Structures are given as C-alpha cells and as structure tokens.
C-alpha cells in the first residue's frame, strides 16, 4: 500500500501547515497583522509588512507545533504564542521549552521524539542543528526538524532559521527526506551579513539533498528579509536547477507523493 501524500501550505513567513496521514503540524506560528514588533527575549525590532494567508482561527486542529525558536518575533508572534496551548504539544529548543512552559517539549539536536496521534498514527520527530548567523553572532538557540515515517527524517526536513554549515551538512549525511523546506530570505536584521539562508546556502542544500524536492519559506513578509522567492528561483534557473525548486505561494497547498 502506498504511503499517504504530504501536503504543505505556506501561511506566511516561516509558518507552514504540514498534513500527513491525518496528522497536522504547524511550523513557527506567526499570525499578527503588519506593524513593528519586539519579542520579549530579544532587543531586535521586527517590521512586518504583510499578513498571513490564513488566520490562526482558520487553521483548525493542530496535533503539534514545531517551533524552531521562541525568542525572535518573526518566528513566534503574539497570535502565535496564543496558539501554542491549543496544539497537543510544542516541540522546540530546550531553552525555549523552559521559557514557554505549558505543553512545550525541549529537544536537543539529533534527539528524536515519537509523536503518536489520537488515532494511533506515529511520526518520528528529530531535532536538527541550526546556526542562526555567522560564527561569533549569538542569536540564541535554534533547531530545525527532521520528520520521519519509518525512520527519523525519511519524510521531511525543515531547516529552521540557519545558514548552511557543518551541522546542516550532517543532517544531509544522516537523513534522506523526500521534501526539504528551506528557511531562506537572506535575513539582515543586524548589519551587512546574513542570519538565514540566501541563494548560496540553498544551492548547497540542493547539492546535499539530490533526491529531495525543495521549497522555500520565510522569504517574505518581513522588512529584514533581503531575498524573495522570485530572486531565489532566478538563481536556481541560472544554475540549471529550476526543476529542483517547487514554487511555494501563500495559501496554496502543495502535495507531494510520499
């Protein structure tokens, strides 16, 4: 019997609805309207320029939230924070779980948890390493997630806010996901250096995951993001890799054979 399909819907920014075999996960929930915001654990002021494709109320039931980090407002805003208790569990960094409390579960890089739904369906959730900026910039703890059906990471890899570095390369050596969600955007909130993946990092990921379909999120909606999806698509086309990158438009589900 064939495996169920994997459906991804970009809500906006880093917020992606993941649906597989009746299980519904959501990455980094951000649902606030445009405006200027400052998170409770960071001095950085974030300027949001566009809103989400769906409201938090329109998302519906969530089995779990995959929160790469809680301390930056463009990954967890006011409405997103209010949504956390409504999900069954929130997987995040160990330090983030201590700050958030409630239903939060801290997971260390390459540690695996087994999620079981109310209907008895199981998925493996492994945390993956992330480096949110250049060496020497302390942006706080961040993780990504490798989700698996038969084994950790055999279905989906979500990079979280990271550059391409030894840790993400190790993810490629350990796991073989069918789909990779790249958090791109070449974020520059602190100066003339990137805090998240740009085109060069995305090309590294394409080479490291040669059999995976690629989609890119977290490249619109915020003033500190310097490279949008159109620019990333153009770079992939110039390197004759246009067929590797599936366009990810807000509010439009994409289904992949899993």
- The tens digit of pLDDT for each residue in 181-228 reads 999 988 876 667 787 889 999 999 999 999 999 999 999 988 888 889
Question: What does pTM read for this prediction?
Answer: 0.94
The residue among 75, 70, 77, 69 whose CA lies nearest residue 37 is: 77
Mean pLDDT of 172-179: 98
CA-to-CA distance for 132 and 161, rounded, in angstroms?
A: 6
Per-residue confidence band for 42, with pLDDT thresholds at 50, 70 and 90: low
Say which DSSP state 84 is in: G
CA-to-CA distance for 179 and 213, rounded, in angstroms?
A: 5
Q: What is the mean pLDDT of the chain?
A: 92
Mean pLDDT of 227-240: 95
Q: Given the structure tokens 């003033």, which residue do they identify? A: 223
Q: Which range is least confidently modeled, 47-51, 94-98, 202-206?
A: 47-51
Q: Provide the pLDDT for residue 2.
A: 66
Across the strands, what pairs with 146? Answer: 126, 157
For domain 6-256, give the CATH number: 3.60.15.10
Mean pLDDT of 149-169: 96
Which residues of 71-155 form beta strands (DSSP E)? Answer: 89-92, 104-106, 112-116, 122-129, 143-148
CA-to-CA distance for 258 and 253, rounded, in angstroms?
A: 15
Is the pLDDT at 1 greater than 60? The verdict is no
């Amino acid at each position: 019997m064939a495996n169920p399909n994997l459906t991804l819907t970009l809500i906006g920014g880093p917020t992606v609805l993941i649906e597989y075999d009746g299980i519904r996960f959501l990455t980094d929930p951000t649902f606030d309207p445009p405006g200027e915001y400052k998170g409770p654990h960071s001095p950085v002021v974030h300027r949001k320029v566009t809103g989400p494709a769906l409201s938090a109320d329109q998302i519906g039931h969530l089995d779990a939230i995959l929160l790469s980090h809680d301390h930056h407002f463009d990954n967890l805003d006011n409405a997103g924070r209010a949504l956390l208790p409504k999900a069954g569990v929130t997987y995040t960094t160990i330090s983030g779980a201590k700050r958030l409390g409630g239903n939060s579960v801290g997971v260390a890089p390459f540690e695996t948890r087994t999620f079981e739904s109310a209907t008895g369906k199981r998925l493996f959730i492994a945390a993956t390493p992330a480096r949110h900026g250049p060496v020497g910039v302390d942006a706080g703890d961040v993780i990504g997630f490798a989700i698996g059906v038969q084994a950790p990471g055999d279905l989906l890899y979500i990079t979280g806010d990271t550059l391409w570095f030894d840790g993400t390369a190790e993810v490629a050596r350990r796991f073989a996901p069918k789909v990779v969600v790249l958090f791109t955007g070449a974020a520059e909130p602190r100066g003339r250096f990137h805090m998240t993946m740009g085109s060069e990092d995305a090309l590294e990921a394409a080479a490291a995951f040669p059999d995976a379909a690629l989609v890119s999120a977290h490249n619109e909606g915020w003033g500190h993001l310097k490279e949008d999806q159109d620019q990333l698509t153009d770079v992939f086309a110039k390197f004759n890799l246009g067929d590797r990158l599936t366009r990810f438009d807000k509010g439009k589900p994409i289904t992949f054979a899993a």
